[in-house]
Amino acid sequence: IPVENIRNFSIIAHVDHGKSTLADRLLEMAGAIDKNCGRSQVLDKLQVERERGITVKAQSASLIYNVDGTDYMLNLIDTPGHVDFSNEVSRSLSACQGVILLVDANQGVQAQTVANFYMAFTKELVIIPVLNKIDLKNANPEAITDQLKNIFGIEENEVLKISAKLGTGVDAVLRAIVERIPPPPVNRDKPFRALLFDSWYDRYRGAVSLLYVVDGKVQMGDMISSALSGKLYEVKGLGILTPQETPVECLVAGQVGFMFCNMRSSQEAHIGDTIFHEGNPVAILPEFKASQPMVFAGVYPVDQSHHVELRNAIERLVLNDSAVTSSVESSPALGLGWRLGFLGILHLEVFSQRLLQEFNAEVVVTAPSVTYKATVIGEKNIKKYRSSEISFSNPSQFPDPQIVSEYFEPFVLGTIISPDKYLGPIMQLCMDRRGIQKSMQNIDNHTVMMQFILPLNEIVIDFHDTLKSVSSGYASFDYEEYGYFESKLVKLVILLNGIPVDELSAVVHSSKASIVGHKICAKLKELIPRQMVLIAIQAAVGGKIVARETLKPYRKDVTAKLYGGDVTRRKKLLKQQAEGKKKMRMLANINVPKDIFIDVLKRN
Ligand code: GDP
Ligand code: MG
């Protein structure tokens, strides 16, 4: 297929606006998949994606579409729709010349629509605005067209109106892709050069990479090199995704396809890397902005004897998801584990769910935290930390206030779009979370777009859920980094019978210490089973108790109801109880169920 007949594009949309449905329809219309195969949403490969209905990993599909007698190869690069995964969106767009900006004609422009639009806009991609779900009786394509004009300056005549579900207007979308999006600006006569923009792990083939071939071509058996590592590999497999893997002999400039070449470890298939022929160095393609983990949590095996299995599982998942960072950590209560960094709380949840589903790994996840900074004073202390500015994401590393002149915490710029009747409760929520309003704009007669500067630690846990509940599900939210600012931070220590439990401590703003302390103590009282001794649950800041709860003693004898005779039944009950104990952890001589850690700091 000549370069002039190739189109590389993505669909970008707010969650649930119909991206997967449209992708399926495009594949069907172009004859790529069987209409009757019965599997919906073929691009969402991961089990967790099907369950949650969100796309986590970007996938791709090549389809052939005939317009007026000419065959075009359309490479659809799928992108995740959720706020946490914007780096994957940005990365996928690096292989595209255009995007379909898909907007639900009933819901209208949402926070991620805005974020996605600007991502495509700054990359100077052709944007095809498409209103979906026009079959719904509440659909209001005229009003939503107005929104597109007000916010993005999109002209009415550019807007396509479709029903991805019924297939209405989808043909016009395919035509627009061919007519409006330019072919990839590539050169087949130059030496081979490709962008590695995604990768996943395969047990038998090692790392499989998705390549966008920018110049020349690559063939089976070629010797290739990585610009970042300088390592050499022999190409063992090439193919395109239709979306099933279809082997090919070579990939030529303009194409998107997969490659494997005995890359064994997670570091080798570096996303953003430039791949070229051995001994034929080329100019390196612009690297992506490295994704910054924003939320950190400790991850531990429920049972320490599974440490090695868990390490393997984590390594594999990290290979699939370069946005996750990991380092080894140990905790007195939980043993040996890892501190993992994630893009957001959903990212963390998806990761732990995948550990369970794909590797059957049972883990304890500690309460999530963000990365704070502090300025250390005193020559001795600066020497000890090797710098006057230190960072920490684990509350147990909170530096002593005696040696710190200032603490800093990360802020984000949040965008909220909502019907204006929920304005009051939304403003209240943002104020409660220490937010500062930056702007407010009407995007139509009854919809507002607001921007707030918010501390990241106030939104990592349940901001999104609360926002949804105060707006009956109508408000949408997205955020971007806004930098570090000085803040009055304190370490809130949780004590069980007077003994501090570091795993349960938290970094909070001083104005929140007492409120958060009360909530944690109340929650712990609810979650810790009563034991043989009385338990004092306390929260303290700098030695001062700010909250307290008491858990009364109680003895549970599982065999009490049995009268002598039935030995096997008795043994079985005792065994069950012993298994229950494995999931408990001794903290300050108190049995604490392992899975409470993440529950504890949730606010509600
Ligand atoms: P995604 O999150 O953007 O991938 O959205 P999905 O493709 O998963 O669609 C979300 C929901 O909207 C699903 O229940 C779809 O069946 C539904 N949907 C998608 N397109 C249409 C449409 O054109 N009309 C109607 N009525 N529903 C649609
Ligand atoms: Mg989807």
Ligand 1 atom at minimal distance to the Cα of residue 44: 4
What pLDDT shows up at residue 254? Answer: 95
For ligand 1, atom 10, name the residue with the nearest CA.
Answer: 16
Give residue 475's pLDDT band: very low, low, confident or very high (50, 70, 90): very high
The answer to whether 80 and 93 are in contact (CB under 8 A) is: no
Distance from the alpha carbon of residue 67 to the mean position of ligand 2, in angstroms: 27
Ligand 1 atom at minimal distance to the Cα of residue 14: 3
Task: Indicate whether 550 pLDDT > 60.
Answer: yes
Distance from the alpha carbon of residue 78 to the mean position of ligand 2, in angstroms: 9
Instruction: Of 32-36, 162-166, 194-198, 584-588, give the range with the top mean pLDDT.
Output: 162-166
What pLDDT shows up at residue 418? Answer: 96
What pLDDT shows up at residue 334? Answer: 76
- Mind listing the pLDDT tens digit for each residue in 144-187? 999 999 999 999 999 999 999 999 999 999 999 999 999 999 99
What pLDDT shows up at residue 517? Answer: 93
Distance from the alpha carbon of residue 602 to the mean position of ligand 2, in angstroms: 27
> What is d(CA 272, CA 227) in angstroms, rounded to the nearest whole number?
10
* Residue of 11, 21, 113 to mutate, ligand 1, most atoms within 8 A of C-beta: 21
Section 367-391 average pLDDT: 90
β partners of residue 419: 447
Task: Indicate whether 604 pLDDT > 50.
Answer: no
Distance from the alpha carbon of residue 143 to the mean position of ligand 2, in angstroms: 25
Helix H segments across 9-138?
Answer: 19-29, 47-52, 86-93, 111-122
Angle 573-551-458 (CA atoms, 0-180°, nearest 5)?
105
**Residue 519: left (phi > 0), alpha (psi -120 to 50), or beta?**
alpha
Helix H segments across 37-164?
Answer: 47-52, 86-93, 111-122, 141-152
Structure tokens at 582: 């494995």
Q: Which ligand is nearest to the CA of 22?
A: 1
> What is d(CA 599, CA 393) in angstroms, rounded to the nearest whole number?
19
Residues with CB under 6 A from ligand 1: 13, 15-21, 53, 81, 132-133, 135-136, 163-165
Distance from the alpha carbon of residue 150 to the mean position of ligand 1, in angstroms: 25
Binding site as annotated, residues: 13-20, 78-82, 132-135
Percent of the chain residues past pLDDT 70, beyond the cut:
84
Task: Report which of residues 217 and 112 the model is more confident about.
Answer: 217
- The answer for residues whose C-beta is within 8 angstroms of residue 332's C-beta and 6 or more apart is 502
Distance from the alpha carbon of residue 393 to the mean position of ligand 1, in angstroms: 38
What pLDDT shows up at residue 366? Answer: 80
> What is d(CA 307, CA 319) in angstroms, rounded to the nearest whole number?
18
Section 520-546 average pLDDT: 89
Give residue 83's pLDDT band: very low, low, confident or very high (50, 70, 90): low
For ligand 1, atom 9, name the residue with the nearest CA.
Answer: 18
Give residue 603's pLDDT band: very low, low, confident or very high (50, 70, 90): very low
What pLDDT shows up at residue 260? Answer: 92
508: nearest Cα among 479, 536, 546: 546
Ligand 1 atom at minimal distance to the Cα of residue 17: 3
Q: Which ligand is nearest to the CA of 104?
A: 1
Ligand 1 atom at minimal distance to the Cα of residue 55: 4
* Residue of 12, 16, 104 to mutate, ligand 1, most atoms within 8 A of C-beta: 16
Q: Which ligand is nearest to the CA of 23?
A: 1
Structure tokens at 56: 């986590």
Q: How far is CA 584 from CA 269, 389, 556, 590, 593, in A?
A: 39, 38, 15, 9, 4
Ligand 1 atom at minimal distance to the Cα of residue 24: 7
Instruction: Of 481-485, 554-558, 567-571, give the range with the top mean pLDDT.
Output: 481-485
Distance from the alpha carbon of residue 196 to the mean position of ligand 2, in angstroms: 23
Distance from the alpha carbon of residue 54 to the mean position of ligand 1, in angstroms: 11
- Mind listing the pLDDT tens digit for each residue in 32-66? 544 444 444 555 555 555 454 444 444 678 888 98
88-92, 378-382, 489-493: range with lowest mean pLDDT: 88-92
- Mind listing the pLDDT tens digit for each residue in 279-316? 888 888 876 666 678 889 888 887 888 889 999 999 88
> What is d(CA 72, CA 66) in angstroms, rounded to the nearest whole number?
6
Q: Is 170 helix (H, G, I), strand (E, B) or coil?
A: helix
Distance from the alpha carbon of residue 58 to the mean position of ligand 2, in angstroms: 10
- Mind listing the pLDDT tens digit for each residue in 233-287? 999 999 998 877 889 999 999 999 999 998 887 668 887 889 999 988 888 887 6
β partners of residue 213: 194
- The answer for residues whose C-beta is within 8 angstroms of residue 433's C-beta and 6 or more apart is 454, 455, 458, 459, 463
Angle 59-62-64 (CA atoms, 0-180°, nearest 5)?
155
- Mind listing the pLDDT tens digit for each residue in 422-443? 999 999 999 999 999 999 999 9
Ligand 1 atom at minimal distance to the Cα of residue 15: 2
Section 129-158 average pLDDT: 95
Section 363-370 average pLDDT: 83
Q: How far is CA 386 from CA 353, 373, 389, 398, 407, in A?
A: 38, 14, 9, 16, 17
Mean per-residue pLDDT over the chain, rounded: 85
For ligand 1, atom 24, name the residue with the nearest CA.
Answer: 133
With a threshold of 0.90, does the pTM exceed it?
A: no
Ligand 1 atom at minimal distance to the Cα of residue 166: 23
For ligand 1, atom 18, name the residue with the nearest CA.
Answer: 18
Can you say how many angstroms the Cα of residue 300 is from the centroid of all Cα atoms in its chain?
A: 20
Distance from the alpha carbon of residue 423 to the mean position of ligand 1, in angstroms: 27
* Residue of 165, 173, 346 to mutate, ligand 1, most atoms within 8 A of C-beta: 165
What pLDDT shows up at residue 226? Answer: 92
Binding site as annotated, residues for GTP: 13-20, 78-82, 132-135
Ligand 1 atom at minimal distance to the Cα of residue 102: 3
Task: Report which of residues 523 and 455 the model is more confident about.
Answer: 455
Q: Which ligand is nearest to the CA of 100?
A: 1
> What is d(CA 112, CA 477) in angstroms, rounded to the nearest whole number?
7
